[in-house]
Amino acid sequence: MIDYPLARAVALVVETGSFERAARVLNITPSAVSQRVRQLEERLGAVLIERGTPCRATEKGAWICRHVEQVGLLEHELLRHLPGLIGAEGQRVTLNIATNADSLGTWFLPAVAPFTAETGYLLNIGIDDQDHTADWLRSGRVLAAVTGLETPVQGCRIQRLGSLRYHATASPDFIARHFPDGITAAAMASAPALTYDQKDRLQQRWLEMHLGQGVASPTHWLPSTQGFVDATLVGMGWALNPAMLVQEALDRGLLVELIPGAVLDVPLYWQVNRLAAERLGPLTRSIVMAARHALV
């Protein structure tokens, strides 16, 4: 049988990143948390937590964390019907989900807020490129994710959400400086772009779609959705920005499309672990409803 106080100690150290913060949640001393973790590690004959700043789960530790999360979902459902079972040490359940940064910066938070208010669940939201959040589902790091993958991850249910529309934008001064003869491959090869991180291929996808070829542009690295908008407004570079964030700036002439009407639509899907799909039904409904209003 699983010793749940020990397993929960492991999960909280991973969730909070330290033994000290886990101890505050459990209202015990850090040494008591360490003792619980070490006791379970000795029982299993495996290291469950990589000690560091922050502490992280090993592969076997991640299995413990996933199990504790599933048990938390079941207990939350039971306590809705039998509130008398709630003890003084009852803890709120934290759900691990993932999304891409541009969804988080536009429509995603208004979608999940009603769910958290109605259920009391806490969320641990991971951020990754929409082409890579599916890996989080495969590894079991999250129960659900917004992803660009149109086929179901094994063990998951999938719903299409719509497409997040992007405009290739820059400031009028940037356009005048770098593209006096129009948007050509040669000009794009010297005009600074903005790139979120090494996984971000949106700019290259737009170039391939509308210029017929990829271009090795110089780039600023800027891991921030709003930072992209701000950087284009001040003329640092050109970028693919979500339509809902730049429409007002386009209307006012503060930003200009590189090629008018040349948009990029990125399809998005909601995938949720089948074992949790029923209990996360309200979250799924809230996300689908918000996506219908916000996405193309």
- Does residue 14 lie in a domain region? yes
What is the DSSP pairing of strand 263-273 with strand 56-57?
unpaired
Percent of the chain, pLDDT > 90? 66
Q: Which of 7-16, 31-40, 81-90 has the lowest mean pLDDT?
A: 81-90
Residue 86 has pLDDT above 70, yes or no: no
Global pTM value:
0.77
Q: What is the pLDDT of residue 293?
A: 93
- Does residue 36 lie in a domain region? yes
pLDDT band at 85 (very low <50, low <70, confident <90, very high): very low
Mean of pLDDT values over 212-226: 90
Indicate which CATH number applies to the domain containing 257. Answer: 3.40.190.10
What are the tokens at 49? 């937590």
Q: Which of 62-66, 163-167, 172-176 has the lowest mean pLDDT?
A: 62-66
Q: What is the pLDDT of residue 6?
A: 92
- Does residue 282 lie in a domain region? no
- Domain end call among 90, 105, 137: 90
Q: How many residues does the chain have?
A: 296
Residue 79 has pLDDT above 90, yes or no: no
- Domain end call among 40, 71, 90: 90
Mean of pLDDT values over 22-43: 90
**What is the number of domains present in the chain?**
2
Side chain identity, residue 110: P
Q: What is the pLDDT of residue 133?
A: 94
- Does residue 134 lie in a domain region? no
What are the tokens at 61? 């530790």
Q: What is the pLDDT of residue 89?
A: 47
Residue 21 has pLDDT above 80, yes or no: yes
- 74 CB neighbour count, 10 Å cutoff: 13
Q: What is the pLDDT of residue 102?
A: 96
Indicate which CATH number applies to the domain containing 11. Answer: 1.10.10.10
Q: What is the pLDDT of residue 83?
A: 54
Mean of pLDDT values over 26-40: 91
SS3 121: coil
Give the chain's mean pLDDT.
90
- The C-alpha atoms of residue 244 and residue 249 are separated, in whole angstroms, by 10
- Does residue 56 lie in a domain region? yes
Contact assessment for residue 101 and residue 130, using Cβ atoms and an 8 Å cutoff: no
Q: Which domain, by its residues, includes 35? A: 1-90
Q: What is the pLDDT of residue 41?
A: 87
Residue 43 has pLDDT above 50, yes or no: yes
